[in-house]
Structure 1
Amino acid sequence: MAQATFSIRMDEALKKRFDELCSEFGMNATTAFNIFARAVVRERRIPFEIKAENADSASVEGLKSFYALQDEARRNGIQDMPLSEINEEISRVREEGRIE
């Protein structure tokens, strides 16, 4: 099998820690990256979850909640409620003390 070179740049401290850990596993970084590449090709996906845990996560969660509410409105036949009715509903619920 023909070999190809693959170069990446990374933080020096991260590389040092990665090399040390790979050594503990009994391999070098090249072997580790080859294992990763084979897993990606075999599984046709990144073999672990990639997610952000920052302010953007709140936006994502907010969108999920919005879409869930949108689906519920659709199921209840109120997806086309005009803004004036939505505001009236919010005011009514606030007056009843159910939300602040």
Structure 2
Amino acid sequence: MATTNLNIRTDKVIKEQAEQIFNELGLNMTTAVNMFLRTAIREQGIPFELKLDVPNAITAAAIEEGRKLMEDPLAPRYSDMESLREALEV
């Protein structure tokens, strides 16, 4: 396979932020760009969303609370919105 160089211009901060994300994903810039190009060709368009899924502290706490409630057989359960509204008194 013959290779060629691809030169692009981008904002320095954008490049640094992208490199940081790619590094966390175990990729370098060249590999990430090649993944994008190959997938764009295969999908015939902008192909995918590749991102770190890091919820903020409030969301992470809410997820953890929900998981604990789902494991607790004594936690209240509601089968319809009306029952939930009555329990919440709204």
TM-score by structure 2 length? 0.51
Name the CA distance, whole Å, in 2 between partners of 1:45 and 1:18.
21
Greater relative contact order, per chain length (Cα 8 Å cut-off, separation 6+): 2
More helix by share: 1
Q: Which runs of 5+ in 1 are unaligned?
A: 50-100
Task: Give 1:21's aligned residue.
Answer: 21
> Which aligned pairs between 1:1-100 and structure 2 lie closer than 5 A?
1-48=1-48
**Per-residue deviation, residues 16-60 of structure 1 (Å, max 9, x unmatched):** 0111111001010110000000011101111159xxxxxxxxxxx
CA distance in 2, matches of 1:48, 1:31: 15
The root-mean-square deviation of aligned C-alpha atoms, in Å, is 1.5
Between Structure 1 and Structure 2, how many residues are aligned? Answer: 49
Code of the aligned partner of 1:40: A
> Identity over the aligned pairs, expressed in percent?
43
Structure of larger gyration radius? 1
Once residues 21 and 36 of structure 1 are traced to their aligned partners in structure 2, the CA distance between those partners, rounded to angstroms, is 15
Whole-Å separation in 1 of the counterparts to 2:20 and 2:45: 27
Structure 2 gaps of 5+ residues are 50-90
Runs of 4+ with >3 A deviation: none
